[in-house]
Chains A and B, each alone.
Chain A
Amino acid sequence: MEYFDFGINVAFALIIISTLASVLYGVINWNKDGYVKPPQFVKEWNKTEKEIEDEL
């Protein structure tokens, strides 16, 4: 865009590229999972904590 200098033009271009990259990343990976089951010790601790909280 001719009314901006080089630095501002680059900023605008990077804003558009970054936004498009983020949107595309979101769309492409929309259903890609990476679920990690909580480890056993976490489950146990949550149970223990719940018991402590109930007692308190």
Chain B
Amino acid sequence: MGIFENIIIILYLAVLGYLGFKGYKQTKSTEDYLVAGRDTHPFIMALSYGATFISTAAIVGFGGVAAWLGNSLLWLTVFNIFVGIFIAFVFLGNPTRKMGYRLNAHTFPELLAKRFDSKFIQIFGAAIILLFMPLYATAVLIGGTQFIALYFGTDYHMSLMVFSIIITAYVIAGGLKGVMLTDALQGSIMFIAMLILVVVTFDSLGGVEAAFTKLDHVWQATVIDPLASKSIKELAPGSPDFMMKLSLLWGFEGWNSMPIFLSKGWLFVITTITMGVGVGVLAQPQLIVRFMTVKSKQELNRAVLIGSVFIVAMTGIIFIVGALSNAWYYEFNEGKNALQSAGSIGKVIPHFINTAMPKWFAFIFLFALISAAMSTLSSQFHTMGTAVGRDLFEQISTKKHNSITVTRLGVIVMIIFSVSLAYAFDDQPAIIARSTAIFFALCASIFLPSFIGGLFWKGMTKAGAISSMIVGLLVSSFWLLFVHFKEAKSLGLSKAMFGKHSLLSGDIIFVDALMIALPLSIITAILVSLISKKMNEAHLNKCFND
């Protein structure tokens, strides 16, 4: 590493330290620590939301999947912008902010609990966060640490320790203010890196039209010609050719085409990737709490503009670059496609950056990846800390406590837990590798009906909310453990109990848990609310009227 790189690293750490300190100085009350004082600037709010949403896994993982399955992944970008930003900010943001104000809620479980007047909901929500978010955080932590260790040539465990200490410092000191300020810096770095990436990629392939046109030729030359007549049994499981043959069998017809309608590939792209992540984002506790950090609707209106541009620059660009990496490798790496060149899905983006991009950009991109990991992790640690402190401990305890201190202790406990998991596994075990998908599916199935119903339907009752949460948990857990082809196989319980990876067979096992659990959870919420005892009119007035 040269002097230039050292200076940049020191500068980056110094700015992080400064922003963490700024957050610390501005944190004077529980409201400051938990909801950033409810007066966050729209630019910071939008970038924080986007940077929290986009983790390293989204860039490296989904970018690699785009190299495998092509531009069909752009449907996820459609959902990310339309559902994750437009619907979320325009329709859910302001009602969430207003209800948070009226009920003096500081966390997502607390908002639901106060809306439905139920302590159980707050404790249950915290328990879900504490059970599943550490796995999701561990996945991000392992991913980020592996990049640092690989790039700087340092020991994994040492890198993990340093990485965690830096994040811990500004989360504990600055609370949500510190987290959001650093998120905004990290989001800006990610945004610039992505813009450079797409320009350099198109430039190296001779422009937009030439680049996309090449993809059809590369598909024909590296997938159809060598693999169409081969049996998948002739190929080594997990090898690049095996994966490409699998995509053919699943109904994919090229990187510029959608898979055949209702084929396995179509179900995977649309239900698991697009709907699972695209809809699941609406019920993420660490994102919803951001709506409560702004003073008025004006900030949310402005954040829509900033957030949408940020998200399209993140997922739109990485999916396009992932798919186009096939054309680049074919042209500059002896006629091979991306998977054949990099070796596996997860290695495509790092390999592409190191091979196809100038050295100085590889360094900037490393910062973008570390920033993506840090921004997601800091928000996860803060949310887990509030779940332990505010939502669990303060609800169970009979004594009054200082909320900031309790939450800080909660953050420390959850960081130690997540880092211990990451320390034990330097290679992601199956359950952790699938934890992002698991967390998204669970959050949507458990929280979404109560969250949206709670905001817009006065007739939604406490019994309706609780029963829909329980149905969401049970159905999605069953589907993840015993049916869905990815999670059920990775988790292994179905195999251990029944001797097969999935209890069902056929294309249904490609349907995401959310697609089954969410409708059942919604139906339960409606039916139980209609037949159960209505909520007190005075309480509803407090929830809905200023």
Contact = CB atoms under 8 A, between A and B. Distances in A.
Interface of A: 1, 3-8, 11-12, 14-15, 18-19, 21-23, 25-27, 29-39, 41-42, 45-46, 49-50, 52-53, 56
B403 to A, nearest CB: 7
B539 interface: no
B305 A27 contact: yes
16 contacts: A3-B212, A4-B71, A5-B258, A7-B75, A8-B256, A15-B312, A18-B81, A22-B81, A23-B309, A26-B302, A26-B303, A31-B298, A33-B298, A34-B297, A42-B102, A53-B403
Contacts of B94: 34
B98 A36 contact: yes
B209 interface: yes
B354 interface: no
A11 B258 CA distance: 10
A53 B402 CA distance: 5
Q: Size band of the B side of the interface? A: 35 or more
B47 to A, nearest CB: 14
Given A22-B85, A39-B102, A56-B402, 17 more contacts: A1-B212, A3-B212, A3-B215, A5-B254, A11-B74, A12-B74, A14-B78, A14-B82, A18-B85, A18-B86, A21-B86, A22-B81, A22-B304, A30-B298, A34-B98, A39-B546, A53-B403
A52 B306 contact: no
A36 B405 CA distance: 29
B213 interface: yes
Contacts of B71: 4, 8, 11
Interface string B192-230: 000000000000000001001101100000000000000
A4 B71 CA distance: 9
B307 interface: yes
Residue of B85, B256, B306, B403 most packed against chain A (CB within 10 A): B256
